[in-house]
Structures are given as C-alpha cells and as structure tokens.
Amino acid sequence: MYKQPVSQHANYRQSMGKLLMLYTQVDRLIMEICAQRLAEVPDEEAELSLAKQVGDESRHVSIQRQWLLHFDADPTPIITPEQEQMVREHFRSLPWIDFLADLYICVEALGSEAVERIVPLADHGTRESLRIPLADELDHVAFGITRLRKELARLSKAERQTFLERLPARIESLTNAFHGFGVPVRRLFEAVGADYDRLCQLLEERQQELIAELAFGMQPSPPARVASDVST
C-alpha cells in the first residue's frame, strides 16, 4: 500500500496541508449537516446521537484549525462556498434512511478509511491532530450502521433488497460528485506517499464489507440453542 514515507520531501507539506484543510472543511460540513437535521430526526435516540456528533465535529474543527496554523498550511479553502452549499442542500433534501446511507456509509465510513490509510505516512504532529477525530468517527459510523439496520428492518424484504442493491450506485454517484469539485485527490495522496490505486482498491473492499454488514443484520436470527441436560 505504502511507498517510502515522504514527510521530508519539499511538496509533502503543501500537499498534506491541502488534505488537512479538506478534512477540516468536511468535518465542519458534517457538523452543519447534523445540526440542521436535528429538528427532523424521528426519535430521541437519533436526536441525542446527532447532537453528540455536532459537539464532536466542532471539537475536530477546533483541533484541526489549531494544527493548520502550526503547520503553516495554506488557508485557502479546497471546497468553494458554492460547493459547500450544494452539499448542504443535498443532505437537507434526503429522506432519513438515505441521509443515514450517504452520511455514515459514504462520507464517514469510507472517508475516514481513506484518512486512516495516510496516517502512517504523516509527520508526528499531523498524526496526533487526527487521533481524536478518527477515534470519534468510529462511534459515528457505529451509530450510522446500527441505525441504518433499524430503518432497513422496517422495510419489506423486497424494499430492503432494492435499497442494498442500489447502495453501490449511490456511493458512486456521491464519489463522482465530489471528484466533480475538481480536487486533485490522486495527486495530493500520492504526494504524501500513498499508493492511490491500492487505496481505491481498499476502499472498494471496505464498501463491500459495509454492505455485507448491513445485509447480515437483516438475516433472520438462528434458532436459540438449548443447553443439553448433561448428567454427571
């Protein structure tokens, strides 16, 4: 997966700075998306989870802003204000079950997976700045998957199957929309030492794992095992 670490190379800091800025913008967008959804969630469990995530993402943005200053990164946003608004409007328009799929499968699970793959290549300060955000994202993804299973369980078998079959295309559509923003993702990842083709392969494998995990949650439970009465 990885080439030799390049944290001392001339273009490493510029490229890593851009990736960190992108990560910070995405976390801020997630914070805003979750905050705007709070008034529309179906129950208190979801409300509490999204409220917690708003606080988590706010902390992540603060951590990253501080590190970006210390890192002396270019403060120019990677995603334009117009593109950010497109993202907000997309998530605002989604039904609850689609919101869960887009946010927690595509953005949170696969996005954090990509970030985790470059952490071993990063300088010590960058690795430390990502430690808390990546740990929190494990909780966010766990909520998203658990909640998505719950929503899928309310659908008919045919509806569940259709939803899961369409999920790869849904993820691809969001990915294509992101690439349409013009962010030079391959160049940035390769500049910090990542094998981009291998990274894409790993993300595809992770996507398949996530969909399998959702499908497995929909299988009927096996019959309860009854302990044998063993005489001594």
3-state secondary structure of 93: coil
For residue 192, is it within any domain? yes
Q: Is residue 164 part of a domain?
A: yes
Which CATH number does the domain housing residue 194 bear?
1.20.1260.10
Over residues 69-118, the pLDDT tens digits come to 999 999 999 999 999 999 999 999 999 999 999 999 999 999 999 999 99
Q: Are 74 and 18 in contact (CB under 8 A)?
A: yes
Q: At 49, which helix (H) or strand (E)?
A: helix 44-71
Structural domain count, the chain: 1
Residue for token pair 């969630």: 41
Residue 1 domain flag: no
Domain enclosing residue 146, as ranges: 12-216
> Is 4 a member of any domain?
no
Per-residue pLDDT, averaged over 140-166, amounts to: 96
Token match 């008919």: residue?
Answer: 156
* Beta bridge pairs of residue 2: 194
Residues paired with residue 194 on neighbouring β-strands, in sequence order: 2
How many Å apart are CA 166 and CA 178, to the nearest integer?
Answer: 19
CA distance 95 to 163: 13
Contact (Cβ atoms closer than 8 angstroms) between residue 90 and residue 82:
no
pLDDT at 65: 97
| pLDDT for residue 216 | 78
Asked, for residue 177, whether it belongs to a domain, the answer is yes
Q: 194 — phi, psi (to 5°)?
A: -85, 145
For residue 5, is it within any domain? no
Which residue from 192, 200, 197 is spatially nearest to 175, judged by alpha carbons? 200
Instruction: Tell me whether residue 47 is in a domain.
Output: yes
The pLDDT score that the predictor gives to residue 218 is 61
CA 89, 94, 99, 102: dihedral to nearest 10 degrees?
Answer: -70
